[in-house]
Amino acid sequence: MGIIIASRKSKLAQVQTDLVMSMIYQKHKLICDKLLLDTKGDRILDVSLDKIGGKGVFVKEIEIAILEGRAEAAVHSMKDVPYAMPEGFEIVSMPIREDARDVYVSMNGIPLEDLPRGARIGTSSKRRSTQIMELRPDAIMVPIRGNVQTRVDKIERENLDGIILAAAGLKRLGMECIITQYLDLEEFVPAIGQGALGIEALKTSSYIDILKSIEHHETRICVDAERSFMRRLNGGCHSPIGAYARLQNEDMYIQGVFELNGKFIKKDILGSKYDYINLGKLLGEKIINA
């Protein structure tokens, strides 16, 4: 009997779940099945996330399915997972992270810096739009939501110059050929957990050891450091927030951005990778005290 893994119905969510199922099969020769679910975040596409409940709108129905025993686990994009986990649940495993960068996709191949004045750029992320406005204060930001293909289609439909997406999603979908430009991590800080997958299950799950076996330790401590930063700032979809942690031998370097009292603040920190949770918290405090 295989593990039933819950997933959103979008193509990207299913591809990500297939990746995890494949890792489990390669390691344990265990065949898993998918349980496909609609979430509130997938159904309501004409309203921004902060107005319909923030990040949790992509995970709540999935957690209910696990509680009811219809699935044993779920695969999430870590950037969609709130920092507060419901009672009894945990992110038991994070496989190796994909490219964390944001990318610019345009239909005419013109990079951001060469766009004409007043260019129309699509994104519903406050973090992305705030950072685009830092690079191109003359740009017009156009809110767009939906799955990857829907957003790409909106470039023509809504007469946009281009849109901002996550590199990881396009790579997993085999669509990296449409990327016009990778946005540099130093000047365009990604969402917390961007590019990483998390496997959620009940702490009491009988499959926990199998799920933990595909964990990638470096991914785990970097994403947990970013989430510690988010927890310290109480960040969700309501404020532009982003962080990216990377390892340099025994050290961890984290960059973070956050909007505080109408001011967009960027800070960084370097410290021991063994102190990763505290590092994320200290970076949050640097921003509060800026």
The model's pLDDT over 113-135, given as tens digits with 9 standing for 90+, comes to 999 999 999 998 999 999 999 99
pLDDT at 236: 57
Q: Is 153 a catalytic residue?
A: no
pLDDT at 83: 87
Closest CA to 230 of 36, 64, 80: 80
pLDDT at 60: 81
Which of the residues 80, 99, 102, 224 is marked catalytic?
A: 80
pLDDT at 161: 96
Q: Which domains does the chain have, with CATH numbers?
A: 1-95+196-215 (3.40.190.10), 102-182 (3.40.190.10), 216-290 (3.30.160.40)
Give the residues of the chain that fall short of pLDDT 50: 44-55
pLDDT at 20: 98
pLDDT at 1: 62
pLDDT at 146: 84
Torsion of CA 194, 23, 10, 93, to 10 degrees: -50
pLDDT at 39: 67
In tens, the pLDDT along 182-200 reads 999 999 999 999 999 999 9
